[in-house]
Amino acid sequence: MNALFIIDDNRNRELAKMFLNSIRKFHTEEELVVKIIDPNDYEEFKADTYFYYKAKALIANKFLDEYETVIVADADHIMTGDITHILSLKDYDAGCVLNFNTKDAKEYGAVSVWDIAPQEYLNAGFIAFRSKEFASHLLQLCNSKHFDNYRYKEQDLLNIMAHYGNYKVRVFDLYDPEYNYSAFHGLVSKAWWNMIIMQEDKLVITPKNVPAVRNNVEVKLIHWAGGNTNKMNYKIYFTDEVSKRLDYLVSEVKND
């Protein structure tokens, strides 16, 4: 069984509920268990002063004995397409998304660690764990003396493990020729939000609108990360047609 845990930091409960509503437009409880995690509900989480800086590793370690796949995600997401591909794959220890996009790089500077290129640096806002060994190793590093040496804490350590460790790490945003799968799952699409179009009920980026992509790419997840991003004010970033679709996805209306 697969599970997705949404992290609630006591400021984003409404965003977490909207994320949950959007997930249910694509996946039933039987397909994907979804839980909003408030650290105050778990003694071991509540006791950890740095919970939010290593939450992905803590949650994965706690629940991987119960679920085959544990996805841990920040609250400020909207699911805009099904993630069946992610849930069905069995051949990875951890699955991640890219951090780089030209909008954030211009506003905040490109993010990297060691000699990992910014374009290859991974974002910790959405991580799918399938290996207890991987999750345990990440938590071990987060609890070590190395933790305070890195600006982005768990995210930097995740990147070091993914790029230098002996693990199978999938990057879901990269084209997968084996399955002919091409989709974006987070920040990578951020610079192109205003160019997303609707094709039936899918959010799509096309080569016609964005020459940087070679083929049509479906946007499966939108991540609002970024300190100055006006969260959920769709019309600032998206066309009216896409904004209307997002309104429906985050609503409590049941999937029709």
- Please report which helix (H) or strand (E) contains residue 128, including its range: strand 122-129
pLDDT in tens, 29-50: 999 999 999 999 999 999 999 9
- Summarised one tens digit per residue, pLDDT across range 134-159 is 999 999 999 999 999 999 999 999 99
- For each of the domains in the chain, give its residue range(s) and CATH number, in order of start: 2-250 (3.90.550.10)
**Residues 47-60: pLDDT tens digits?**
999 999 999 999 99
Structure tokens at 2: 């697969």
Q: State both tokens at 245.
A: 């679709």
pLDDT of residue 183: 97
Q: For residues 208 and 186, what is the distance between their CA atoms, to the nearest angstrom?
A: 21
Query: b/e string for 40-71 if b means 16 or more Cβ within 10 A?
Result: eeeeebeebeebebbbbbbbbbbbbeebebbb
Structural element, H or E, at residue 55: helix 55-63
Q: In the predicted model, what is the mean pLDDT of the chain?
A: 94
Please give the model's pTM, rounded to 2 decimal places: 0.95
- Which pLDDT band holds residue 62 (cuts at 50, 70, 90)? very high
